[in-house]
Chain A
Amino acid sequence: MTGADVVFGLLGIVCLAAALLVVTARNVIHAALWLVVCFGALAGCYLVLTAEFVAWVQVLIYIGAVVVLMLFGAMLTRAPIGRPQSLDSTNRPVAALAGVATAGVLVTLVVSAFKGAYVDVHHTQIGDGHVLGTAVFRYFVLAFEVASVLLLAALVGAIVLTRQGRD
């Protein structure tokens, strides 16, 4: 049990509690704000796992853009803020059973498969901007270009879908 274990465990507890609050909150705005806590704790987990650049991307894009977009969506669709019970459907026991079963199967699998695996975080190359930039632009440049075309297509698609007029 090292310091990295302790820090990762504490961040994981925060992240998991916030994730459970995201899926159980009665209010869409509260769920979006708990999503910020969850993603922030997850960025801390990435830092412990030496993924420095991905942690900052997580903060910038997920917390800065995706959650704000979610809040815009919740407000534009006039989300039910006061009324309880309107966010969830009526199949809560079945959904809880499916979620617990999925988590149980996955936890059993990964614990039995990677029981003694150990990550040496002190002797790993830190994934900072230089290292990740080299990896993306030297080895994964085709995937990078495809991702840019995908983003352009998503942009055009979103504009077409939300356009008001017919002309």
Chain B
Amino acid sequence: MHLSIALVLSALLFGAGVYGVLVRRNAVALLMAVELMLNAANLDLIAFDAWFKDRLHAGQTFALFVVVIAAAEVGVGLAIVLALFRLRDSVSVDEATALADRDPVRRPVEQTR
């Protein structure tokens, strides 16, 4: 089969993931978009593994490691989301601005001084 079909599918999946990360406000939905981007990278790794006929199968092995790291990321990410929900009663990432430089929505600048 043609390699470019797999690469185009991977690029489109990555674009969908970028759109999801930028548009989602709910933190759980945002994590799903991150998973889409990780899977796009996995598809690239496996397609190039098959294309190179790699005898070490480095592409497929790296895809396995990406899966492991994605599982760890989802576990820690959901723990952070749950801690945020317990603190703020909301999982909206637009409202989690405690580390922002300034918060023009909630507090005027002079109050934060």
User: Would you call B4 and A115 a contact (CB within 8 A)?
Assistant: yes
Question: Scoring A residues 102 to 125 as 1 if CB is less than 8 Å from chain B, else 0, what string do you get?
Answer: 111011011100110111110011
Question: Scoring A residues 36 to 63 as 1 if CB is less than 8 Å from chain B, else 0, what string do you get?
Answer: 0011001001101111011001100110
- In the bound complex, how far is the Cα of B32 from the Cα of A40, in angstroms? 15
Q: Which residue of B lies closest to A136 (CB)?
A: B61
User: Would you call A50 and B50 a contact (CB within 8 A)?
Assistant: yes
Within 8 A of A (CB), among B43-65: 43, 46-47, 49-51, 53, 55-58, 60-61, 63-65
Write the nearest CB–CB distance from A139 to chain B, whole angstroms. Answer: 5
User: Would you call B69 and A150 a contact (CB within 8 A)?
Assistant: yes
Q: Which residue of B lies closest to A88 (CB)?
A: B23
Contacting residues, chain B, for A103 (C-beta < 8 A)? 11-12, 14-16, 18
- In the bound complex, how far is the Cα of B51 from the Cα of A121, in angstroms? 8
- Chain B interface residue count, Cβ-Cβ cutoff 8 angstroms: 70
Given A89-B94, A131-B57: A100 and B15 interface contact (C-beta under 8 Å): yes
Q: Which residue of B lies closest to A94 (CB)?
A: B22
User: Would you call B75 and A154 a contact (CB within 8 A)?
Assistant: yes
* Number of A-B residue pairs having CB atoms within 8 Å of each other in the complex: 260
If over half of B's interface residues share one DSSP class (helix, strand or loop), that class is named, otherwise mixed; here it is helix
User: Would you call B29 and A28 a contact (CB within 8 A)?
Assistant: yes
Given A50-B50, A87-B25, A119-B2: A98 and B8 interface contact (C-beta under 8 Å): no
- Chain A interface residue count, Cβ-Cβ cutoff 8 angstroms: 90
User: Would you call B70 and A124 a contact (CB within 8 A)?
Assistant: no
Within 8 A of B (CB), among A12-33: 12, 15-16, 19-20, 22-23, 28, 31-32
User: Would you call A162 and B28 a contact (CB within 8 A)?
Assistant: no
Given A69-B74, A127-B49: A118 and B61 interface contact (C-beta under 8 Å): no
Write the nearest CB–CB distance from B46 to chain A, whole angstroms. Answer: 5
User: Would you call A102 and B18 a contact (CB within 8 A)?
Assistant: yes
User: Would you call B33 and A23 a contact (CB within 8 A)?
Assistant: yes
**Pick from A96, A111, A158: contact of B75, CB under 8 Å:** A158
Instruction: Report A's interface with B, CB cutoff 8 A.
Output: 2, 4-5, 8-9, 12, 15-16, 19-20, 22-23, 28, 31-32, 35, 38-39, 42, 45-46, 48-51, 53-54, 57-58, 61-62, 65-66, 69-70, 72-74, 76-77, 79-80, 86-89, 91-92, 94-96, 98-100, 102-104, 106-107, 109-111, 114-115, 117-121, 124-125, 127, 131-132, 135-136, 139-140, 143, 147, 150-151, 153-155, 157-159, 161-162
